[in-house]
Amino acid sequence: MWYLRQFALAWRLLADRPGRFALSMTGVAFAVVIMFTELGFLNGVTDSSINLAARVRSDLVVVHPQQEHLKSGVEYPLFYLQQVRDVPGVAVARAVYTSANYWANPQDGSRNRILIIGADIDDPMLDIPEIAAHRAELRGTDTVLFDQRARAELGAVTPGVRSRLAGHPVRVAGLFSLGPNFAYEGHVFLSTRNFMRLPNQRPDDVDLGLVRVAPGEDIETVRQRIRDRMGDKVEVLTARELAQRERDVTTRKAPVGIVFGLGLVVGFAIGTVVCYQILFNEVSDHLPQFAMLKAIGHPPRSLTVLVLHEALILSLGGFAAGLSAGGVLYHLLEQQTALQMDLTPPRALLVLVLTSGMCLLAGRLALKKVQAADPADLF
């Protein structure tokens, strides 16, 4: 009850001057938008970077031990995968081939970098339902599925469109959704057979080996058997670990991830400074009143709670405004960049926590001013 009374008082102090209150909210909202933007880009980069890894639906993934991420292009011989297939407990082991190459815009002929994925269309072990839907067409020669979320620069691509992939003529049999990332403008999927028809592709250079364990087999046990059998020739990951590896590379090693991660920190710092300035002014304006409250016997704790409640109100108000603005901004950025900008509840919650932390930190700093208020100066 006492806390509620302090909260109500904090609200009245802030809302007493609506113009200034709105300006203060705007200041905090500005910091919130910065954080949302940086977090959006960071998530956009990471989400996009794992867009392929996130579609893997195998129990285990066999990669080259020196492969840091899917775009590093480190391959291993097909017979390694054949050896894996012979490990007890392994039901299926299939190769997935990838190649970074160029797609010719069917309208203007311009070339844009794209990732080509070749896999077994009968059992791709990838969560791309369009493969099954277009399996018959994909069996045809030089047919592909085109990423309908690819950047606009790749042209208006619809089923039946003909273009050139790695300089090789292809026909679009259907569309699927994966989206671009910072390395590629989009993706193209085709059967292993058609993949090998592209220039400079060899069946022996495997990028990913997707493994399904036999029914009733423990995945960890099978993984250990593969490791025992293959030694350090390959690395064996789960699909989740593969996605996490891609995410880690982007957020911790790739410059873009670091830049946007730092941007988030900078946004937090800017917000703290802005919020501190707002609260400092607020506290300064009420300093004689705070000193009076101290004088008549309100304990220092009540003033601490009062100022922190003011900080909390600013954070909530600023967050609400920033969330609205952030939602609009995400939509615009998604349209402009084709990056995946998902404003999920956990991400909004993260920004809320950061905003509250930012304002409470600022409030804590502003409290020094309150603590310095000397009631003796009132006389």
Partner 1 sequence: MSLPPPREVAVEIAGVNHHFGKGEARKQVLFDNSLVIRRGEIVIMTGPSGSGKTTLLTLIGTLRGIQEGSIRINGQELAGLAPAAQVQMRRNIGFIFQAHNLLNALTARQNVRMAIELTDAPRARYDQIANEMLGAVGLSDRASYKPRNLSGGQRQRVAIARALVNKPRLILADEPTAALDKDSGANVVRLLRELANNHGTTVMIVTHDARIINVADRIVNMVDGHIVSDVRIKETMIICAILKKCSVFKEMSPSDLTDIAQKMAEERFTAGENIIRAGDVGDKFYVIASGETDIIAETATGTRAVAKLGEGDFFGEVALLKDQPRNATVSARGDVTVYSLSKENFLAAVRSHKSFEDQMSAMLFTRG
Tell me the C-alpha distance between 44 and 42, whole Å: 5
Question: Could you tell me how far CA 360 lies from the centroid of its own chain?
Answer: 27
**Shortest CB 6 distance to partner 1, Å:** 10
- By CB under 8 A, tell whether 378 contacts partner 1: yes
Letter for the amino acid at 253? Answer: K
Q: What angle do CA 313, 319, 325 make, to 5 degrees?
A: 145
Give the SS3 label for residue 209.
strand
291 binding partner 1? (CB under 8 A): yes
Q: Which of 221, 252, 299, 353 binds partner 1 (CB under 8 A)?
A: 299
370: Cα separation from own chain's centroid: 41
Distance CA 191, CA 367 (A): 65
Does position 22 interact with partner 1 (CB under 8 A)? The reply is no
To the nearest whole angstrom, how small is the minimum distance from the Cβ of residue 329 to partner 1?
34
Within 310-349, which residues bind partner 1 (CB under 8 A)? Answer: none
Burial of 358 (0-12, 13-18, 19+ CB in 10 A): buried
Regarding 281 and contact with partner 1 (CB under 8 A), the answer is no
Mapped onto helix, strand or coil, the DSSP state of residue 325 is helix
State which of residues 292, 316, 350, 365 lies at the interface with partner 1 (CB under 8 A).
Answer: 292
Closest CA to 97 of 200, 180, 192: 192
For partner 1, the closer of residues 109 and 299 by Cβ is: 299
Subset of 135-174 contacting partner 1 (CB under 8 A): none
Residue among 263, 327, 357, 375 that touches partner 1 (CB under 8 A): 375
Query: How many chain residues are in contact with partner 1, going by CB under 8 A?
Result: 24
> Given the rule CB under 8 A, which of 93-101, 132-140, 260-268, 287-295 is the region that contacts partner 1?
287-295
Q: Which listed range, 239-247, 256-264, 290-298, 337-345, lies at the site for partner 1 (CB under 8 A)?
A: 290-298
Q: Does 288 bind partner 1 (CB under 8 A)?
A: yes
CB-based burial, 17-52: b 16+ in 10 Å, e otherwise: eeeebeebbbbbbbbbbbbbbbbbbbbbbbbbbbbb
Q: Is 255 exposed, middle or buried (0-12, 13-18, 19+ CB in 10 A)?
A: exposed
Residue 293 or 360 having the CB closest to partner 1: 293
Q: Which member of 187, 286, 309, 347 binds partner 1 (CB under 8 A)? A: 286
Asked if residue 372 binds partner 1 (CB under 8 A), the reply is no
Secondary structure (DSSP) of 272-289:
HHHHHHHHHHHHHHTHHH
Binding site for partner 1 (CB under 8 A): 5, 9, 12-13, 15-16, 286, 288-289, 291-300, 374-376, 378-379
